[in-house]
Structure 1
């Protein structure tokens, strides 16, 4: 006869990186193969990572799968190259899937707080041109190491040089990105 409760030894972690809306209700009989796990469309991120779960058998909620990382090229038995559920070609496994990342953020449950950044522009006229210094900060606190800023000029202005970053310009649209560190990361 036991005189005390058995000691709990199992550890359970739930991956909540894309279960905010539950599993994808896979449409029966639509695709030759059942691939509900492969880049499921119209899903959202779930609970943020935490060890406070309020569920006795769950030790932590973690985002084990990076939200926006592709599961691979999902053909759902059709032979590809297009994912018939998404109407596009999915990136290879492990590659960034921007459309899925945007879905997961937009449909997050609970909702994800929007990321904020502040851009401070200090400008001065130099001869016939204009010189501007940009400072990009996250919520006005720490400078960001990885950022991209885009804008569209009203007229025919051109960016000539960017110090401390890189830029591209297509017509009136300009994109400026943070510099790479020595490892090539942004």
Structure 2
């Protein structure tokens, strides 16, 4: 669907607003993608930690049982060595996952900063495009506003009043 009245389509501000909304939508997709990837990694890390603790518990039980008995049982030693080997392999996977999370958090911060700056730019251009002297139709305004509202991302606003005010202004119907 094409937006904008014929006269206003020629306006650079209208085209800039549409372009900024498209960029913000892509940035929001990137943020959402990174956050879902982090959720998967966190789940995997939790499962691996449970497996490691279980293997340690099994190993500790067998070692304690072995120390109390006088019988030398080879299969219990093999089980302990196997459990410790698997634990070491899982631990290396955990280290890799933690490094991936660390890199990803930095990337997520950058993506969010890009998104915020795009939203800030979008707000200033939106104010010009939606001004009273503009010739943009109400339907086009509503469509652009809906696109802005669909930009969904999870942000912790508790400590950043500037970001909260920027997003509040952008998502308000003016």
Class of the TM-score when normalised by the shorter of the 2 chains:
under 0.3
TM-score by length of 1: 0.21
Task: Decide which structure has the larger Cα Rg and report it.
Answer: 2
Please give the TM-score of this superposition, normalised by the length of structure 2.
0.22
Instruction: Answer 1 or 2: which has greater helix percent.
Output: 2
